[in-house]
């Protein structure tokens, strides 16, 4: 059974690029274009094994998404990776405080991304 | 970096020109002082030279000296004052002309400054419009780059799917080849057994031929046995004839014996016939077997042996050829798998590099935001004189804000898979 990953980004390029890379690595990928749609997807019953989210997005940013996702049942310990161009330490600290599992700065190579995913998803 | 300079106001130059106009006034004061000193000298000389003559001309002797002095001093002062008045009048006229000139210059300068100010305002408005145009074009460029990136991703994904299809095809071909190989191995084993059988067939045939020859020899011995039977039949016939003769001599007592003798003679005759028939049949069989042995076994045994050896060699060649073919398939599969792995890695790299479109797109978005702020400042400055005075400071603040926000975003490396040496903004990958 392939592991399921929810990719959240407002950039169609990032969505398609990550989807293709992760599917090549054998993962099942769902996508959302902002935090609001991601939350709707999660509340709709999707239980991904991992969430990869951008930070700066319209409607609802990544930090708020992390905060809201953590309050949903069964998602307290689900790994959430932030993938962004932001490198500000204050934002990293805030993400960590809100429950993010890791911080990745764009662009991230496919091999590096899969390596990180295998670290946070044992058995992937 | 290109420094943009607006035309400076020329009022300072105008004031300098007005200051220059004040220089003759100083010269005038110096001239008055000089003339005063000259008048004093002239009074002293007139007083010294004309006093004796003047005293002689005055009617009252006791008042001659003071009157003469007063007249000389008064005359000298009158002369110097007249000169001073003439000079002041001249300089006044000069200053009035200069004032008019300065006024005209001031008016023309102010008009020129007004024209320059209007031109500067128009330039600010044009810069704002230009900035909006840049903003729109940056947006279009972002859109186009995103469409191109998506197209590349789609093509890359199809390329990967095609590579995987090829790999699946080769994998299936390899499995089919393995299954075929197992079938062929089984077939080869069967054929090898047949070949070994065929190879051993001449020997077996030789053994059979020897057995047949042995049988033929035995049959040859039977041919002698038929002769023996014929001889026994003749002797039995003779014995029967003798018995018949003896029975005839015995008369009635010998009749029964004569019947037995007849039967014995008949049996002897039949035995002779049977022996003849056996001998003829044996001779026919022997000749037929010997012909067959000569034609089929003895003459063709070497050729059949060679053919049997060739069959085994052919089977071995077939086995070797198929082994080569299977090895070729395995090598081909391994090579194509390796190429496919390399293609997958390259595709993964291409997909990672395409993330730059988003990185650059976000950078352009931030640039668009800063450009919009700059355009708003330029447009506001063009509308109001006060804003124009603060424009430089506001633009500097906007630039500082933009540059500060840029430091919050990591600089993309040349290679997405490469390690980032810039640690000032934190590691590129960090697990909490």
CA B173 vs. chain centroid, Å, equals: 29
Domain presence at residue B143: no
Res A98: pLDDT: 94
Q: Where are the domains of chain A?
A: 4-118
Domain presence at residue B225: yes
Res B309: pLDDT: 67
Go through chain A and tell me how many residues it has. 124
Res A30: pLDDT: 96
**For B68-123, how does the pLDDT look when each residue is reduced to its tens digit (9 = 90+)?**
778 777 877 788 788 878 878 887 888 788 788 888 888 888 898 888 888 888 88
Question: Is the model more confident about A95 or about B280?
Answer: A95
Backbone phi, psi, residue A5, to 5°: -125, 135
Indicate which CATH number applies to the domain containing B295: 1.10.287.950
Res B21: pLDDT: 57
**For B31-66, how does the pLDDT look when each residue is reduced to its tens digit (9 = 90+)?**
778 877 887 787 788 777 877 777 777 676 777 777
Chain A residues near residue B428 by CB distance under 8 angstroms: 104-105, 108
pTM of the model: 0.62
Interval B272-301 mean pLDDT: 75
Roughly how many angstroms between the first and final C-alpha of chain B, as a whole number?
Answer: 42
Structural domain boundaries, residue B309: 190-314
Please judge whether B355 and A17 are an interchain contact, meaning their C-beta atoms are less than 8 angstroms apart: yes
Closest listed residue to residue B95, CA positions, set B27, B13, B10: B27
Residue from B163, B353, B358, B359 to probe the interface with A (highest A Cβ count within 10 Å): B358
Question: Is the model more confident about B271 or about A58?
Answer: A58
Question: Is the model more confident about B393 or about B7?
Answer: B393
Three-class DSSP category at B411: coil
User: Average pLDDT over chain B, rounded to whole?
Assistant: 79
Local confidence band at B421 (pLDDT 50, 70, 90 cut-offs):
very low
Residue from A26, A58, A109 to probe the interface with B (highest B Cβ count within 10 Å): A109
Q: Judge: domain A4-118, CATH 3.40.50.2300.
A: yes
Count of CB atoms situated within 10 Å of the CB of B403: 10
Task: Tell me the nearest-neighbour CA distance from A40 into chain B, angstroms.
Answer: 24
Interval A70-91 mean pLDDT: 90
Chain B residue at shortest CA distance from A21: B348
Task: Tell me the nearest-neighbour CA distance from A73 into chain B, angstroms.
Answer: 22
ipTM of the complex: 0.87
The radius of gyration of chain A from alpha carbons, rounded to an integer in Å, stands at 13
Domain presence at residue B145: no
The answer to whether residues A87 and B410 touch, using CB atoms and an 8 Å cutoff, is yes
Res A120: pLDDT: 92
Q: What does the alpha-carbon distance between residue A52 and residue A102 come to, in Å, rounded to a whole number? A: 10
Residues 6 or more apart in contact with residue B306 via CB below 8 angstroms: none
Residue from A7, A11, A13 to probe the interface with B (highest B Cβ count within 10 Å): A13
Q: Would the pLDDT of B201 be above 80?
A: no
Picking from A12, A107, A111, the nearest residue to B359 by CB comes out as A107
**For B343-361, how does the pLDDT look when each residue is reduced to its tens digit (9 = 90+)?**
888 888 888 888 888 888 8
Count of CB atoms situated within 10 Å of the CB of B153: 24
The answer to whether residues B371 and B399 touch, using CB atoms and an 8 Å cutoff, is no
Sheet strands side by side (includes A4-8): A28-32, A4-8, A50-53, A80-84, A102-105, B429-431
Number of domains in chain B: 1
């Amino acid at each position: 059974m392939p592991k399921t990953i929810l990719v959240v980004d407002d950039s169609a390029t990032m969505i398609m690029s990550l989807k293709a890379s992760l599917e090549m690595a054998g993962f099942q990928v769902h996508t959302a274009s902002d935090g609001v749609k991601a939350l709707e997807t999660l509340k709709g019953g999707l239980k991904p094994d991992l969430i990869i989210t951008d930070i700066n997005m319209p409607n609802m940013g990544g930090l708020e998404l992390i905060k809201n996702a953590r309050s949903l049942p069964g998602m307290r310990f689900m790994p959430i990776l932030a993938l962004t161009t932001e490198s500000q330490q204050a934002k990293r600290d805030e993400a960590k405080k809100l429950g993010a599992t890791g911080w990745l700065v764009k662009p991230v190579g496919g091999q590096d991304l899969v390596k990180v995913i295998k670290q946070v998803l044992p058995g992937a | 970096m290109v420094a943009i300079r607006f035309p400076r106001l020329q009022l300072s130059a105008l004031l300098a020109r007005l200051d220059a106009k004040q220089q003759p006034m100083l010269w005038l004061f110096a001239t008055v002082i000089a003339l005063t000193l000259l008048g004093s000298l002239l009074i002293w000389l007139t007083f010294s030279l004309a006093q004796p003559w003047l005293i002689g001309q005055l009617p009252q002797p006791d008042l001659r000296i003071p009157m003469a002095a007063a007249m000389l001093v008064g005359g000298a002062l009158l002369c110097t004052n007249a000169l001073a008045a003439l000079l002041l009048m001249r300089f006044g006229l000069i200053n009035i002309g200069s004032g008019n000139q300065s006024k005209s210059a001031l008016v023309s300068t102010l008009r020129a400054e007004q024209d320059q100010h209007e031109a500067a305002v128009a330039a600010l408005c044009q810069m704002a419009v230009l900035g909006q145009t840049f903003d729109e074009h940056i947006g279009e460029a972002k859109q186009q780059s995103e469409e191109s990136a998506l197209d590349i991703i789609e093509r890359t994904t199809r390329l990967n799917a095609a590579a995987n299809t090829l790999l699946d095809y080769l994998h299936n071909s390899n499995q089919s080849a393995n299954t075929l190989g197992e079938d062929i191995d089984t077939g080869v084993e069967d054929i090898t057994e047949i070949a070994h059988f065929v190879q051993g067939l001449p020997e077996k045939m030789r053994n059979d031929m020897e057995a047949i020859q042995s049988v033929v020899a035995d049959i040859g011995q039977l041919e002698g046995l038929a002769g023996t039977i014929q001889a026994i039949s003749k002797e039995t016939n003779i014995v029967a004839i003798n018995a018949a003769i003896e029975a005839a001599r015995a008369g009635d007592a010998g009749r029964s014996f004569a019947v037995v003798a007849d039967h014995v003679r008949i049996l002897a005759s039949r035995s002779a016939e049977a022996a003849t028939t056996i001998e003829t049949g044996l001779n026919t069989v022997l000749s037929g077997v010997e012909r067959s042995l000569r034609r089929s076994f003895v003459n063709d045994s070497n050729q059949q042996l060679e053919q049997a050896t060739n069959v085994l060699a052919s089977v071995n060649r077939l086995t070797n050829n198929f082994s080569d073919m299977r090895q070729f398939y395995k090598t081909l599969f391994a090579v194509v798998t390796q190429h496919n792995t390399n293609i997958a890695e390259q595709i993964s790299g291409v997909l990672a590099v395409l993330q730059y479109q988003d990185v650059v797109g976000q950078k352009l978005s931030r640039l668009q935001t800063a450009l919009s702020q700059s355009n708003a400042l330029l447009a506001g400055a063009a509308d109001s004189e006060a804003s124009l005075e603060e424009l430089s400071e506001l633009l500097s603040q906007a630039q500082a804000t933009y540059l500060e926000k840029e430091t919050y975003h990591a600089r993309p490396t040349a290679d997405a898979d490469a390690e980032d040496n810039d640690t000032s903004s934190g590691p590129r990958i960090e697990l909490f």
